[in-house]
Amino acid sequence: MASLIAKVGFGTVGLTRQPTETTAIRLLEVAYDQGITHFDTAPAYGSGYSERLVGKFLRKRSGITIATKFGLGPSSRGLLSPSLAVPLNFYRKKLLGSFYRPALTDSKAPSCRQITRKHIETAVDSSRKALGVDYIDYYLLHEGLPSLLEDSALDYLLELKRRGIVGKLGLAANGSNYQTGHEFLNWDILQYEYGPAWPGNASLPSKFPTMRHFFHSILKNYRAFSRPGVSVEDLPGHILRTCIEKNPNGYVLFFSGNPEHIRNNLRVVSS
Protein backbone atom coordinates (compact mmCIF):
# COMPACT_ATOMS: atom_id res chain seq x y z
CA MET A 1 0.00 0.00 0.00
CA ALA A 2 2.97 2.29 0.56
CA SER A 3 3.41 2.44 -3.22
CA LEU A 4 0.03 4.18 -3.52
CA ILE A 5 0.98 6.86 -0.98
CA ALA A 6 4.23 7.35 -2.89
CA LYS A 7 2.17 8.54 -5.85
CA VAL A 8 0.34 11.21 -3.86
CA GLY A 9 1.56 14.80 -4.02
CA PHE A 10 0.54 17.74 -1.87
CA GLY A 11 -0.46 20.96 -3.60
CA THR A 12 0.42 24.19 -1.84
CA VAL A 13 -1.80 26.72 -3.58
CA GLY A 14 -3.84 27.07 -0.36
CA LEU A 15 -0.97 27.58 2.10
CA THR A 16 -1.22 31.35 2.14
CA ARG A 17 -4.92 31.15 2.95
CA GLN A 18 -4.07 29.83 6.40
CA PRO A 19 -4.35 32.04 9.51
CA THR A 20 -0.66 31.79 10.48
CA GLU A 21 2.68 30.64 9.13
CA THR A 22 2.72 27.92 11.79
CA THR A 23 -0.61 26.44 10.67
CA ALA A 24 0.52 26.55 7.03
CA ILE A 25 3.76 24.69 7.71
CA ARG A 26 1.90 22.27 9.97
CA LEU A 27 -0.14 21.13 6.94
CA LEU A 28 3.10 20.29 5.12
CA GLU A 29 4.36 18.41 8.17
CA VAL A 30 1.15 16.37 8.48
CA ALA A 31 1.29 15.42 4.80
CA TYR A 32 4.96 14.43 5.13
CA ASP A 33 4.34 12.44 8.32
CA GLN A 34 1.66 10.45 6.46
CA GLY A 35 4.15 9.47 3.76
CA ILE A 36 3.85 12.22 1.12
CA THR A 37 7.23 13.21 -0.31
CA HIS A 38 6.20 15.25 -3.36
CA PHE A 39 5.13 18.89 -3.02
CA ASP A 40 3.87 21.21 -5.76
CA THR A 41 4.22 25.01 -5.60
CA ALA A 42 4.61 28.06 -7.84
CA PRO A 43 5.70 31.71 -7.66
CA ALA A 44 2.11 32.72 -8.51
CA TYR A 45 0.75 31.04 -5.37
CA GLY A 46 0.30 33.76 -2.77
CA SER A 47 2.69 36.17 -4.55
CA GLY A 48 5.64 33.91 -3.86
CA TYR A 49 4.90 33.15 -0.21
CA SER A 50 3.92 29.54 -0.94
CA GLU A 51 7.45 28.83 -2.20
CA ARG A 52 8.92 30.49 0.88
CA LEU A 53 6.77 28.42 3.22
CA VAL A 54 7.77 25.23 1.42
CA GLY A 55 11.40 26.34 1.63
CA LYS A 56 11.17 26.79 5.39
CA PHE A 57 9.59 23.35 5.71
CA LEU A 58 12.35 21.79 3.56
CA ARG A 59 15.15 22.92 5.87
CA LYS A 60 14.37 20.09 8.29
CA ARG A 61 13.33 17.43 5.79
CA SER A 62 15.00 15.14 3.26
CA GLY A 63 13.90 12.71 0.57
CA ILE A 64 11.44 15.21 -0.91
CA THR A 65 10.80 16.17 -4.54
CA ILE A 66 9.58 19.63 -5.47
CA ALA A 67 7.73 20.89 -8.52
CA THR A 68 7.60 24.62 -9.11
CA LYS A 69 6.71 26.72 -12.11
CA PHE A 70 7.62 29.66 -14.31
CA GLY A 71 5.95 31.88 -16.88
CA LEU A 72 3.07 33.22 -14.78
CA GLY A 73 2.96 35.47 -11.78
CA PRO A 74 5.69 37.40 -10.01
CA SER A 75 9.28 36.31 -9.94
CA SER A 76 10.08 38.90 -7.27
CA ARG A 77 9.16 38.32 -3.64
CA GLY A 78 7.14 40.32 -1.18
CA LEU A 79 9.10 42.30 1.38
CA LEU A 80 7.32 40.90 4.43
CA SER A 81 8.33 37.70 6.16
CA PRO A 82 5.84 34.83 5.78
CA SER A 83 5.10 35.06 9.52
CA LEU A 84 3.59 38.51 8.86
CA ALA A 85 2.34 38.09 5.29
CA VAL A 86 0.32 34.91 5.86
CA PRO A 87 -1.93 36.24 8.67
CA LEU A 88 -2.29 39.60 6.91
CA ASN A 89 -3.46 37.82 3.76
CA PHE A 90 -5.79 35.63 5.80
CA TYR A 91 -7.56 38.59 7.39
CA ARG A 92 -7.52 40.53 4.13
CA LYS A 93 -9.39 37.63 2.56
CA LYS A 94 -11.96 37.74 5.33
CA LEU A 95 -12.49 41.46 4.88
CA LEU A 96 -12.10 41.98 1.14
CA GLY A 97 -12.47 38.58 -0.48
CA SER A 98 -9.85 36.22 -1.84
CA PHE A 99 -6.31 37.62 -1.97
CA TYR A 100 -5.12 34.76 -4.14
CA ARG A 101 -5.24 35.59 -7.83
CA PRO A 102 -5.72 32.25 -9.61
CA ALA A 103 -3.78 31.21 -12.65
CA LEU A 104 -5.24 31.55 -16.10
CA THR A 105 -7.62 28.71 -16.91
CA ASP A 106 -8.74 29.55 -20.42
CA SER A 107 -7.88 26.91 -22.96
CA LYS A 108 -6.20 29.58 -25.08
CA ALA A 109 -3.23 31.42 -23.62
CA PRO A 110 -3.07 35.19 -24.16
CA SER A 111 -1.53 35.95 -27.54
CA CYS A 112 0.45 38.89 -26.11
CA ARG A 113 2.26 36.76 -23.56
CA GLN A 114 5.78 35.82 -24.49
CA ILE A 115 8.39 34.19 -22.29
CA THR A 116 11.99 35.29 -22.70
CA ARG A 117 15.27 33.82 -21.56
CA LYS A 118 15.64 36.74 -19.13
CA HIS A 119 12.32 35.87 -17.51
CA ILE A 120 13.43 32.29 -16.91
CA GLU A 121 16.86 33.34 -15.62
CA THR A 122 15.18 35.57 -13.05
CA ALA A 123 12.44 33.06 -12.21
CA VAL A 124 14.65 30.02 -11.65
CA ASP A 125 17.09 31.94 -9.44
CA SER A 126 14.20 33.43 -7.46
CA SER A 127 12.54 30.03 -6.94
CA ARG A 128 15.77 28.35 -5.87
CA LYS A 129 16.38 31.12 -3.36
CA ALA A 130 12.85 30.95 -1.97
CA LEU A 131 12.96 27.15 -1.69
CA GLY A 132 16.52 27.09 -0.36
CA VAL A 133 17.64 24.55 -2.96
CA ASP A 134 20.21 24.35 -5.73
CA TYR A 135 18.21 21.81 -7.72
CA ILE A 136 14.52 21.81 -8.78
CA ASP A 137 13.17 18.34 -9.47
CA TYR A 138 10.32 19.38 -11.79
CA TYR A 139 10.14 22.76 -13.55
CA LEU A 140 6.81 23.44 -15.24
CA LEU A 141 5.55 26.10 -17.64
CA HIS A 142 2.59 27.58 -15.76
CA GLU A 143 -0.67 27.88 -17.69
CA GLY A 144 0.98 28.07 -21.08
CA LEU A 145 2.12 26.10 -24.08
CA PRO A 146 5.58 25.79 -25.66
CA SER A 147 4.60 28.26 -28.38
CA LEU A 148 4.83 31.04 -25.76
CA LEU A 149 8.57 30.45 -25.37
CA GLU A 150 11.06 32.39 -27.41
CA ASP A 151 13.67 30.13 -28.99
CA SER A 152 16.35 31.44 -26.63
CA ALA A 153 14.09 30.70 -23.65
CA LEU A 154 13.62 27.08 -24.71
CA ASP A 155 17.36 26.73 -25.30
CA TYR A 156 17.99 28.05 -21.81
CA LEU A 157 15.56 25.58 -20.25
CA LEU A 158 17.41 22.72 -21.94
CA GLU A 159 20.67 24.22 -20.73
CA LEU A 160 19.35 24.25 -17.14
CA LYS A 161 18.51 20.58 -17.53
CA ARG A 162 21.98 19.73 -18.90
CA ARG A 163 23.64 21.63 -16.06
CA GLY A 164 21.62 19.75 -13.45
CA ILE A 165 19.80 22.82 -12.15
CA VAL A 166 16.41 21.35 -13.04
CA GLY A 167 15.52 17.70 -13.42
CA LYS A 168 12.45 17.29 -15.61
CA LEU A 169 10.64 19.89 -17.71
CA GLY A 170 6.89 19.97 -18.05
CA LEU A 171 3.69 21.84 -18.81
CA ALA A 172 1.07 22.77 -16.24
CA ALA A 173 -1.99 23.97 -18.12
CA ASN A 174 -5.67 23.39 -18.62
CA GLY A 175 -6.10 19.82 -19.86
CA SER A 176 -8.09 20.94 -22.88
CA ASN A 177 -4.84 22.35 -24.29
CA TYR A 178 -3.47 18.84 -24.68
CA GLN A 179 -6.37 17.40 -26.68
CA THR A 180 -5.00 18.58 -30.00
CA GLY A 181 -1.48 18.89 -31.37
CA HIS A 182 1.71 17.13 -30.38
CA GLU A 183 4.01 19.98 -29.46
CA PHE A 184 4.19 18.46 -25.97
CA LEU A 185 5.98 15.26 -26.90
CA ASN A 186 9.47 16.65 -26.26
CA TRP A 187 8.51 17.56 -22.69
CA ASP A 188 8.73 15.18 -19.74
CA ILE A 189 5.53 16.01 -17.84
CA LEU A 190 1.94 17.05 -18.39
CA GLN A 191 0.13 18.47 -15.36
CA TYR A 192 -3.63 19.03 -15.59
CA GLU A 193 -7.03 18.59 -13.96
CA TYR A 194 -8.26 15.04 -13.55
CA GLY A 195 -11.02 13.22 -11.73
CA PRO A 196 -14.83 12.95 -11.79
CA ALA A 197 -15.31 16.66 -12.56
CA TRP A 198 -13.01 16.49 -15.61
CA PRO A 199 -14.25 13.63 -17.86
CA GLY A 200 -12.72 15.27 -20.93
CA ASN A 201 -9.23 14.64 -19.60
CA ALA A 202 -9.68 10.94 -18.89
CA SER A 203 -8.02 9.92 -22.17
CA LEU A 204 -4.83 11.94 -21.72
CA PRO A 205 -2.74 9.27 -19.92
CA SER A 206 -3.29 6.84 -22.79
CA LYS A 207 -2.85 9.56 -25.41
CA PHE A 208 0.62 10.40 -24.09
CA PRO A 209 1.80 7.10 -22.57
CA THR A 210 5.52 7.95 -22.58
CA MET A 211 5.08 11.10 -20.49
CA ARG A 212 4.65 11.50 -16.75
CA HIS A 213 1.22 12.76 -15.73
CA PHE A 214 0.57 14.94 -12.69
CA PHE A 215 -3.13 15.18 -11.82
CA HIS A 216 -4.65 18.01 -9.80
CA SER A 217 -8.09 19.38 -8.84
CA ILE A 218 -9.29 15.81 -8.43
CA LEU A 219 -11.64 16.68 -5.56
CA LYS A 220 -13.46 19.52 -7.29
CA ASN A 221 -17.19 19.21 -6.48
CA TYR A 222 -16.47 15.77 -5.04
CA ARG A 223 -19.75 15.61 -3.13
CA ALA A 224 -21.60 15.44 -6.44
CA PHE A 225 -19.90 12.13 -7.24
CA SER A 226 -21.05 9.79 -4.49
CA ARG A 227 -20.07 6.12 -4.51
CA PRO A 228 -22.27 3.24 -3.28
CA GLY A 229 -21.16 2.15 0.15
CA VAL A 230 -18.70 5.03 0.59
CA SER A 231 -19.38 7.57 3.34
CA VAL A 232 -19.11 11.30 2.70
CA GLU A 233 -16.14 11.36 5.07
CA ASP A 234 -14.27 8.73 3.05
CA LEU A 235 -15.34 9.90 -0.40
CA PRO A 236 -12.34 12.25 -1.02
CA GLY A 237 -9.90 9.49 -0.14
CA HIS A 238 -11.78 7.05 -2.35
CA ILE A 239 -11.61 9.44 -5.31
CA LEU A 240 -7.92 10.05 -4.61
CA ARG A 241 -7.20 6.33 -4.63
CA THR A 242 -9.17 5.81 -7.86
CA CYS A 243 -7.18 8.55 -9.59
CA ILE A 244 -3.90 7.05 -8.36
CA GLU A 245 -4.86 3.70 -9.85
CA LYS A 246 -5.55 5.41 -13.20
CA ASN A 247 -2.20 7.19 -13.26
CA PRO A 248 0.49 4.71 -14.32
CA ASN A 249 3.38 7.15 -14.23
CA GLY A 250 3.16 10.26 -12.12
CA TYR A 251 1.61 11.97 -9.11
CA VAL A 252 -1.92 12.79 -7.99
CA LEU A 253 -2.06 16.11 -6.15
CA PHE A 254 -4.52 17.22 -3.52
CA PHE A 255 -4.74 19.88 -0.83
CA SER A 256 -6.68 20.26 2.39
CA GLY A 257 -6.39 22.92 5.06
CA ASN A 258 -7.62 20.46 7.68
CA PRO A 259 -4.99 18.09 9.13
CA GLU A 260 -7.61 15.49 10.00
CA HIS A 261 -8.88 15.47 6.43
CA ILE A 262 -5.33 14.92 5.18
CA ARG A 263 -4.90 11.98 7.52
CA ASN A 264 -8.26 10.45 6.67
CA ASN A 265 -7.78 10.80 2.92
CA LEU A 266 -4.46 8.98 3.09
CA ARG A 267 -5.89 6.36 5.45
CA VAL A 268 -8.49 5.53 2.82
CA VAL A 269 -5.82 5.40 0.12
CA SER A 270 -3.72 2.92 2.06
CA SER A 271 -6.56 0.86 3.55
User: How would you label 148-185 residue by residue, b for 16+ Cβ within 10 Å and e otherwise?
Assistant: bbeeebbebbeebeeeebbbbbbbbbbbbbbeeeeebe
Average pLDDT value for residue range 178-189 = 82
> Is a pLDDT exceeding 90 seen at residue 240?
yes
**What is d(CA 257, CA 234) in angstroms, rounded to the nearest whole number?**
16
Report the amino acid identity of residue 146: P
Question: Which of 1-5, 121-125, 148-152, 244-248 has the lowest average pLDDT?
Answer: 1-5
140 touches 170 (CB < 8 A): yes
Report the amino acid identity of residue 165: I
Supply φ then ψ for residue 223, to 5 degrees: -65, -20
- Per-residue confidence (pLDDT) for residue 3, from 0 to 100: 84
Q: How confident is the model at residue 28 (pLDDT cuts 50, 70, 90)?
A: very high
**What is d(CA 9, CA 136) in angstroms, rounded to the nearest whole number?**
15
- Compute the mean pLDDT over every residue in the chain, rounded to the nearest whole number: 88
pTM for this structure? Answer: 0.88
82 touches 20 (CB < 8 A): no
Check whether domain 2-270 has CATH 3.20.20.100, yes or no = yes
Percentage of the residues of the chain whose pLDDT score is greater than 90: 74
Average pLDDT value for residue range 180-207 = 90
Report the amino acid identity of residue 141: L
Q: Where are the beta strands (DSSP E) in the chain?
A: 8-11, 38-40, 65-70, 136-142, 166-172, 189-193, 212-216, 250-254
Average pLDDT value for residue range 212-221 = 96
Q: How confident is the model at residue 6 (pLDDT cuts 50, 70, 90)?
A: very high
- Per-residue confidence (pLDDT) for residue 104, from 0 to 100: 36
**What is d(CA 251, CA 12) in angstroms, rounded to the nearest whole number?**
14
The per-residue pLDDT for range 129-141, each reduced to its tens digit, is 999 999 999 999 9
> Is a pLDDT exceeding 80 seen at residue 38?
yes
> Is a pLDDT exceeding 90 seen at residue 125?
yes
> Is a pLDDT exceeding 80 seen at residue 193?
yes
The per-residue pLDDT for range 41-89, each reduced to its tens digit, is 999 998 888 999 999 999 988 899 999 999 986 555 666 677 666 666 6
* Angle formed by the axes of helices 21-33 and 259-270, nearest 10°: 10
Q: Where are the domains of the chain?
A: 2-270
The per-residue pLDDT for range 158-169, each reduced to its tens digit, is 999 999 999 999
State how far the alpha carbon of 243 is from the alpha carbons of 193, 229, 251, in Å: 11, 18, 9
197 touches 167 (CB < 8 A): no
